[in-house]
Structure 1
Amino acid sequence: MRIDLHSHSTQSDGTETPAEVMRSAAKAGLDVVALTDHDTTRGWGQAARAVAETGVTLVPGIEISCAYDGISIHLLGYFIDPLDAPLLRELERARASRRSRAERMVERLAPDTGLTWQQVQDQFGADTTIGRPHIADALVAAGVVASRDEAFTAYLASGSKYHVSHYAPHPSVATRLVRGAGGVPVMAHPFAAARGRTVGPDVIEGMADAGLAGLEIYHRDHTDEAIGQGLQLAERLGLLVTGSSDYHGTGKRNQLGENLTSPEVLEQLVEQATSGSGPIRP
């Protein structure tokens, strides 16, 4: 069984609709795929309606943007109750901050690139969680850069003069919120040093104390050394080990199924959920 537990659609920074992600998963030979858009569950319905058509089981999920001491951390939450009030309040606060942050970044970019907020708005829908990739796509569309990668390197990296931070909860707080919503929290790409600074084992230990279920160890942004250290840490803390693609359509090089999670681990994730929801099967 081929299981990929991390993908994104146009509801956040992916380039395919939720239904298209499901079709791409089928073409990639996946049996199970998780839709984990940033700070939103709005794509679940469309993805669920594509289950019968594609024959691919859907794991409903989310990726919550967190921060610790200025370091960006992403937390995957599977099988949450999408109507859980405390979690919804936190997500809406983060989404609003993301939008205002994007607007301020465009204001900083405008004198040097000519970029307008309208050009950025043209890159996303009404309910989309807005992020830097949408600014990158606008820069590509305007001919300022040739690709998302170039946009991040030249303009959008965390150390850039154009960068603006946004509100994000402490990772242990987010972990408790996912558990409170009946979901199962797994830390996404925890050792992806190429993206920027990463947190130490002490922060992950704190997340484990708060209810963290697993670590996404097998990810293209992890070195072999990081994978080895991650496996040791997961064993020491009693955490599950997952593998995922972090698929974004054409927005990133990541390909569905390039890293996988075992059926046994998925079964344990399902068993830990208390929301009453689970995989949506054909």
Structure 2
Amino acid sequence: MIVDLHIHTTASDGSWTPAELIEQVRLAGIGLFAVTDHDSVGSLAATARLAREAGLSFIPGVEICSTVRDRNFHILGYGIDHQSKPLEGLLRHNTELMEQADEDSIHKLIAQGLPINYAEYHDYRHNPARGGWKSLSYLTDKGLCADVKEFFSKLFTAERGIVFPTFPSPQAVIATIHAAGGKAVLAHPGSDFHGTMLEETLDSFAEEAIDGVECFHPSQDDATSLRALRWCERHGLLITGGSDCHGVFVPERRLGRPVLHMERLKLESLLV
């Protein structure tokens, strides 16, 4: 069975609706998948229903932002009750932080002389089918960046005084996932924005009672994945992986890539 446990929909910054995603999952030959939208569970109910109808195995998930010493870490929650009140409150809090960060970034860019208008931005309507988010789509349509890479390299930068907000701690995020009946998994620990100290990062999250690690991700090379895999085996933790597919929004991340089969992962406690 092919497995992909990291996929985004229009509930966050992906370009596919639940129905479109189900069709793509079926075409890709994936038998077990998870939706893990950024700080949102908005697609889980519809995806679960459609997956049952299509005979596909589905794990409800979410990808939650947390902050450690000014660095942004993503924590995946699997097998969650998406109606959990503590989870709902945490996701609302993170969403409001990011919406405010987008608002603040537009004001700062205006103050720096960029040819944009706040009233125009306020009235602008982002089309979820594009993927991404409002400020990215607006600034792209204004010709100020070509894509998400230029957005983060030219506009949403520390040099311009624009940074991510301070999200809740990993301890708070993990506790909330556990309270929702889920398992907490550190996402893509080998990503560039986490720094280069992989084992140090993993050891610090082990102290926070993480349940597993996303050992396989398109941003990680084989050597990094192997290091993470061996670390999980030593600690007896869950081993997950996924494409981090966003539909057409991030075209280089293709559904079902890397190709993962059940025997490469350790998912027993997620499948009970």
TM range (shorter): 0.7 to 0.9
Match of 1:274 in 2: none
What secondary structure does 1:135 align onto?
helix
What secondary structure does 2:76 align onto?
strand
CA distance in 2, matches of 1:100, 1:114: 18
Match of 2:269 in 1: 268
Residue 167 of structure 1 aligns with an amino acid whose one-letter code is: T
Task: Say whether residues 1:15 and 2:15 are aligned partners.
Answer: yes
What secondary structure does 1:62 align onto?
strand
Q: Which runs of 5+ in 2 are unaligned?
A: none
Match of 2:235 in 1: 237
Match of 1:224 in 2: 222
What secondary structure does 2:166 align onto?
coil
CA distance in 2, matches of 1:71, 1:8: 22
CA distance in 2, matches of 1:237, 1:118: 52
What secondary structure does 1:250 align onto?
coil
Query: Cα gap change, 1:192/1:135 in structure 2, threshold over 3 Å: closer, same or farther?
Result: same
Match of 1:280 in 2: none
1:2-55 Cα offsets, whole Å, 9 max, x none, are 110001111111111122122211122211221111111111122123225544
Q: Which runs of 5+ in 1 are unaligned?
A: 126-130, 272-282
Match of 2:68 in 1: 68
Count of equivalent residues: 264
2:116 aligns with one of 111, 114, 117: 114
Match of 2:126 in 1: 123
Asked if structure 1 preserves the Cα contact closer than 8 Å seen for 2:126 and 2:133, the reply is no
CA distance in 2, matches of 1:226, 1:160: 30
CA distance in 1, matches of 2:185, 2:196: 16
Asked if structure 1 preserves the Cα contact closer than 8 Å seen for 2:70 and 2:166, the reply is no
Match of 2:185 in 1: 186
Greater alpha carbon shift after TM alignment, 82-91 vs 92-101: 82-91
Match of 2:42 in 1: 42
Residue 116 of structure 2 aligns with an amino acid whose one-letter code is: G
Asked if structure 2 preserves the Cα contact closer than 8 Å seen for 1:64 and 1:77, the reply is yes
So what's the TM-score if we normalise by structure 1? Answer: 0.84
Deviation, structure 1 residue 206: 4.3
1:168-216 Cα offsets, whole Å, 9 max, x none, are 11112211211121101111101112x4536654553343344322111
Give me the CA root mean square deviation: 2.4
Percent identity, please. Answer: 30
CA distance in 2, matches of 1:19, 1:160: 41
What secondary structure does 2:271 align onto?
helix
Match of 2:99 in 1: 99
Match of 1:278 in 2: none
What secondary structure does 1:136 align onto?
helix
CA distance in 2, matches of 1:55, 1:115: 49
Residue 16 of structure 2 aligns with an amino acid whose one-letter code is: E
Mapping of 1:145-224 within 5 angstroms? Answer: 145-157=145-157, 159-193=158-192, 195=193, 197=195, 201-224=199-222
Asked if structure 1 preserves the Cα contact closer than 8 Å seen for 2:174 and 2:209, the reply is yes
Greater alpha carbon shift after TM alignment, 48-57 vs 227-236: 48-57
Asked if structure 2 preserves the Cα contact closer than 8 Å seen for 1:13 and 1:134, the reply is no
So what's the TM-score if we normalise by structure 2? Answer: 0.86
Asked if structure 2 preserves the Cα contact closer than 8 Å seen for 1:71 and 1:198, the reply is no
Query: Cα gap change, 1:254/1:160 in structure 2, threshold over 3 Å: closer, same or farther?
Result: farther
Task: Say whether residues 1:3 and 2:6 are aligned partners.
Answer: no
Residue 72 of structure 2 aligns with an amino acid whose one-letter code is: S
